Amino acid sequence: MKKLESSLKNMILSLTGFSIVAGGLLGWVNAATAEPIAQANAKALSDAIAVVIPGFDNNPAEEAETVEVEGTTYKIYPATQGGKPIGAAVEASANGFGGTLTVLVGFDTEGNIIDYSLLSHAETPGLGSKASDWFKKGAKGDITGKNPGTQSLTVSKDGGEIDAITASTITSRAFLQAVNNAWSAYMNGQVDATSGASQQH
């Protein structure tokens, strides 16, 4: 019986020791990888901002603002050139077929779409990824130059002007909803900036 109790104690001590070591290693790995991941994410964001609203000479990522529209918070990255506003990049999301779809949309000072970047999605492989190019300048569903405030940015099946991605109407709807959300946030952000109510982070 004593031998059994001794073996049980040894086993418990061994498991406890293993758990402590494993926990320590996991914490070390997380700490070691957190910085590179953060740097990679920051670079990816900066690259995306440069794509959707080129020509700025400030640092939009460092001057990010937040605006709340109907209970949802959006990030706005203001772009300036020579100290004058030239527009902004806005991050927005919508629910697609497989989950959340997030885009970064560039707008000029009038609210016209300059370009966009698909940041992430959980759609069907091969279909959802088509949104990366489908709505670009010269493409079938081209949204560049359009202003969601004056033009219907919905798929043609819903009475809008935009051709949906082939065999992927739900993803197209989600993408366009995210773009419309971004525009609403941008316009609200401009109003807030005038009143001094926007928040910088």
pLDDT attached to residue 30: 64
How do residues 145-161 score in pLDDT, each as one tens digit?
Answer: 999 999 989 999 999 99
pLDDT recorded at residue 17: 64
SS3 readout for the chain: CHHHHHHHHHHHHHHHHHHHHHHHHHHHHHHHHHHHHHHHHHHHHHHHHHHHCCCCCCCCCCCCEEEEECCEEEEEEEEEECCEEEEEEEEEEEECCCCEEEEEEEECCCCCEEEEEEEECCCCCCCHHHHHHHCCCCCCCCCCCCCCCCCCCCEHHHCCCECCCCCCHHHHHHHHHHHHHHHHHHHHHHHHHHHCCCEEC
Say what the pLDDT of residue 160 is: 93
Walk along the chain (201 residues) in steps of 10 and give the mean pLDDT of each run: 58 69 68 69 86 96 93 96 96 89 96 96 77 95 96 93 91 95 91 43 43
User: What pLDDT score does 65 carry?
Assistant: 94
pLDDT at residue 179, rounded to an integer: 97
Q: What is the pLDDT of residue 196?
A: 39
pLDDT for position 197: 41
Task: Tell me what pLDDT residue 174 has.
Answer: 94
